[in-house]
Structure 1
């Protein structure tokens, strides 16, 4: 996927500069003062030689040394404060760019993008940092420009040809180096793209490691990642070679200019056109301006890197949303859910309703039907025909900021996060207390996770919950769903990794917490578990994408052979 508009990267950079214009302006002024003080050092040394050393005036020598010491104090202070402001601006802007991208990625409207999860991770990490790094460099570049300007003025005062050499030589050097900027941009963009692809391949490999082992496909997946990594390495080498050649040329040309100025000054000193102090000043300036000139010479490379990364960020910031912005308010609830003649994937005219307060079981003979129902309720898919309603509002028209709070869908495959057990349970309910999380865990028969560990509910969980068994991970995910206390809770096979005895306990606790003595919660469980179905108020049997029967679990089990085959173990 390539950027649709190459100017978009510059627009992100321009906005970043505007966002941080205050600290950048202050930092630029301070670094300009720092560089001016740096230029003043060889100038003052030349003045000291001419006015104090040459004449043997100890009073003047002490005075000028005091002035020189003051200049050193000023340049040190200005640099410390200016560099801090520039670094702070870059770090804060990188954080803002990262959070803006993450908000779009995780937003309820979902992005329409070809980037994989690993690539999105690389863009929000590396590319955000590289884009914002230009903000740290820009005040330094302005300071370098100020230093060269002061150098040129000082040399013009000492001798006009020397000053003109700098005045015309510096723009010529920078202009020639700027010609390489488009090539550096293309190389950096290709490098960042290939790194993101390698990151995406690595993420896919780690996420699917267990299934890959199950089918013996680890070698094929590893070869796929290895190929992506080699392509990234080739791109990085190409970019590094280009940037190295650029830096070598910049330093070489700058050195030639400095040698030309120093040689001219030596010749003029031999002719008596400039004094010994002025010669010392010119030699000091010629040696000094190599640094600011090299700093400015790096500007095309820095800008190319920032632009390439900003264009990668634009793939997220400019990506279209997959879902329209809903405007209809759902209200506090209670809510129900209704499928009205829905056609999607394997569903053929599916019509069913879960009224407010219902505990509804759904049995499907084809797992694709269950996945399709989950996708529609989660909003990751849109019906080809018909509508899914939440209360009296089509789900597609509901306010997307309210819909996740009113309707929580937990698919069969869920992830846990690295962090504490408490954090994992309260992720969907930040206001929940530790006691609420503990109660949810006990409700799903996961009290052993608290009681068997010295840190209790604060025990740490590894990434994706790998430190837990499959059944423990499933129970923690179910506890997280219960702790959210959502008006409508949809579960898909929530107990497949739990033994039958524990499953009956979980089914009873699930009903008790959400429905016993209350009618403000609606629960839909897509499952073939007899324990969960027996605790439901009603069960809907879906066969061939349509509703085949409806009733209690006992009624359907006694009357429908297909149902018995689907659920009885």
Structure 2
């Protein structure tokens, strides 16, 4: 097991901190080993930096002013050793600190992804683009907290060693530094709170702009189709301008803070150098000691400025930790039970049974889906279809009535067991980047089925025939036969290289490959023509009957081709069961049904 894998397992086992402060504390505790080594080596580097002006001053007093060649050679050798130690300590110290930062950022990204991809869902209230920004940018900012600690300890070490050296040379100078540095740092804390507020506003507006950009890219074809591209562009322009304003405000605050740190360091250097020069003129300091004091005072501006940067990093980490904690502590979207279902549902009771179910716009719906049945659902209100899909997918928190799968109440079922028994292929299904093969086998793999071979060398195997049969049933065999790569045909991110109808047919084929005990299809043919729709209806019904004689299929659609293949059709109107019968009888007897279906 690699160190990264071990860190990932450790992150998965740890409880999620409840507050932003607890998150930062855990971040530091989790990387304490690397932070300690990094801080130790960086402190050694800073100590060597302090000793450089000391070594130069001693060289002047011991070798230059006395003309002692032997002492000069010893001093030069000492300087060479000092610089070797200085460079090595910084190299390895920075490596440990950077390693801690990158590993922690990796773990925070994994935690964010784990929370977003959890089967129970999350109710953070963040859109997809905002979640992306939190899981990337904010995770990186929080991870810099550990690096800031290593830097801060090293800079404090430099100030302490410098102060001790100045006290050894001249007590009044040392005391002046000892009192001046804390006072200056205390004054520099005042703008830190403003940095936190400005950074939080910057991250929030940037995340909203990212979310809007993600939505626009995903729906670009639709926007162009309805002629709303210009309005969408204006909305994004306004969001981008707000993000720009917030970013400029944060940059201005950071720039002001950096300027204050630089100015304070320069003033401090001037005061110390002036005091040391006055003491040298009075004969209280030698030439070498004057060089040491001025050199140390000049060097002291670096750790003071670095401490200012550390304060800035702490402020940014606080702002990002608040946003990341909101995501990690988001409540579950659903709260399932722990009862398990068998891999094959029993013939009795029915596969799915609804008794007086009320959820969303549904009002007292009774519905039974027996093993082996192919049932169509026609809803006159799209909200009824959405409510029914949520109910069968296990997302209907607080629904009234009783919903049973395999004779067991849905709220009592383990979510994994429920989704293994009931596959809901929603209208807006997403395909993943890869190939046709990888998109088709993903659902079967998740359900414990056999994976198909991953190369063309495996063509003509049983698994390949299994996939091709599903594609044929979904009228998507042309995607394989019409491409030189066949099943290994590339699929871009979100299937951008496929048309809407092709994406819909591949998603249907993926659902058929999964071969679940209960298959729920929601408008699976809205993006195809009538001829293709008829082929899909025939192929889907035939494949389900051949592969899963005891499997139940529920199709929520208004397609006459699909409804004609159903054993019976249930009509939902105003949230209630209005009529039930075969497609032919309903089309003959019910004028409302004819109006909704026959076109």
* Alpha-carbon distance change, 429 to 221 in structure 1, aligned in 2, over 3 angstroms: same
1:464 to 464, 472, 494: 494
Written as runs of structure 1 = structure 2, the 5 A alignment for 1:262-341 is 262-334=273-345, 336-341=351-356
Question: 1:235 is matched with which residue?
Answer: 246
- Are residues 20 and 513 of structure 1, via their aligned partners in 2, closer, same or farther at CA, if it must alter by over 3 Å? farther
- Aligned-partner Cα distance in 2 for 1:536–1:287: 86
Deviation at 1:246, TM superposition (A): 1.0
CA offset at residue 352 of structure 1? 0.9
3-state SS, counterpart of residue 114 of structure 1 = coil
> C-alpha displacement at 1:270, in angstroms?
2.5
The aligned runs of 1:5-84 (5 Å cut-off) are 8-84=19-95
Partner residue, 1:3: none
Matched, 1:416 2:446: no
Structure 2: segments with no counterpart, 5+ residues = 1-16, 455-463
* 2:197 aligned residue: 186
Secondary structure of the structure 2 residue equivalent to 1:363 = strand
1:390 shift after superposition: 1.8
Q: By how many angstroms is 1:171 displaced? A: 0.6
Partner of 1:453: 483
Shift of 1:412: 1.4
Indicate yes or no: 2:169 matched with 1:158: yes
**Structural mapping, 1:373-452, within 5 Å:** 373-382=388-397, 384-430=399-445, 432-433=451-452, 434=454, 435=464, 437=467, 440-452=470-482
Q: Identify the range of structure 1 (239-248 vs 516-525) with the bigger mean alpha-carbon deviation.
A: 516-525
Q: 1:514 aligns with which of 544, 549, 557?
A: 544
1:124 aligned to 2:139?
A: no
TM-score by length of 1: 0.91
Q: Distance in 1 between matches of 2:336 and 2:167?
A: 64
Change in CA separation of 1:455 and 1:256 when aligned onto 2, cut-off 3 Å? farther
Cα displacement string for residues 276-303 of structure 1 (whole angstroms, at most 9, x for unaligned residues) = 2222222222222221110001222211
Structure 1 position 488 matched with structure 2 position 499: no
> Quick check: 515-524 or 77-86, which moved more?
515-524
- Residues 343 and 383 in structure 1, CA contact (< 8 A), matched pair in contact too: no
Counterpart of 2:124 in structure 1 is: 113
Closer/same/farther in 2, CA of residues 551 and 383 from structure 1, 3 Å limit: farther
Farther-moved stretch of structure 1 (53-62 vs 13-22): 53-62
1:519 deviates by 4.0
* Inter-partner Cα distance in structure 1 for 2:18 and 2:288: 51
Q: Distance in 2 between matches of 1:273 and 1:557?
A: 110
Distance change in 2, residues 1:89/1:401 (3 Å): farther
In 1, distance between residues paired with 2:161 and 2:534? 83
Quick check: 516-525 or 138-147, which moved more? 516-525
Asked if 1:147 corresponds to 2:158, the answer is: yes
Report the Cα distance in structure 1 between the residues aligned to 2:320 and 2:580, rounded to whole angstroms.
Answer: 56
User: Which SS does the other structure have where 1:409 is aligned?
Assistant: strand
Shift of residue 7 of structure 1? 9.1
For residues 29 and 564 of structure 1, what CA distance do their matches in structure 2 show? 80
Between 185-194 and 301-310, the greater mean CA deviation after superposition: 185-194
After superposition, where does 1:159-174 map in structure 2 within 5 Å? 159-174=170-185
The question of 1:532 aligning with 2:551 is answered: no
Cα pair 2:365 2:576 within 8 Å, conserved? yes
233-242 or 315-324, which deviates more: 315-324
8 A contact 1:152–1:167 mirrored in 2: yes
Aligned partners of 2:311, 2:535: CA distance in 1, in Å? Answer: 66
Cα RMSD, aligned residues only: 2.6
Residues 420-429 or 84-93, more deviating:
420-429
| 2:213 alignment partner, one of 197, 202, 211 | 202
Is the Cα–Cα contact under 8 Å of residues 432 and 483 in structure 1 kept in the other structure?
no
1 CA distance for matches of 2:101 and 2:332? 29
Q: How many residues align?
A: 564
Cα contact 2:374–2:553 (8 A) shared by 1: yes
Which secondary structure does the structure 2 equivalent of 1:323 belong to? coil
Structure 1 position 220 matched with structure 2 position 228: no
Per-residue deviation, 1:142:
1.1
Describe the shift of the 1:255–1:458 C-alpha distance in structure 2 as closer, same or farther (beyond 3 A): farther
3-state SS of paired residue (1:401) = helix
The answer to whether the Cα contact below 8 Å between 1:376 and 1:383 also exists between their aligned partners in 2 is no
Q: Is the 8 A contact 2:425 2:521 kept in 1?
A: yes
Structure 1 residues 534 and 406, CA gap change in structure 2 (3 angstroms): same
Distance 1:429 1:210, change over 3 A: same
Judge conservation of contact 2:335–2:397 (CA < 8 Å) in 1.
Answer: no
Q: Is the 1:334–1:357 contact (alpha carbons within 8 Å) kept by the matching residues of 2?
A: no
Q: Distance in 2 between matches of 1:32 and 1:331?
A: 61
Q: Cα–Cα, structure 1 residues 50 and 218, in superposed 2: closer, same or farther, change >3 Å?
A: same
Against the structure 1 CA distance between its residues 394 and 42, is the aligned structure 2 distance closer, same or farther, given a 3 Å change threshold? same
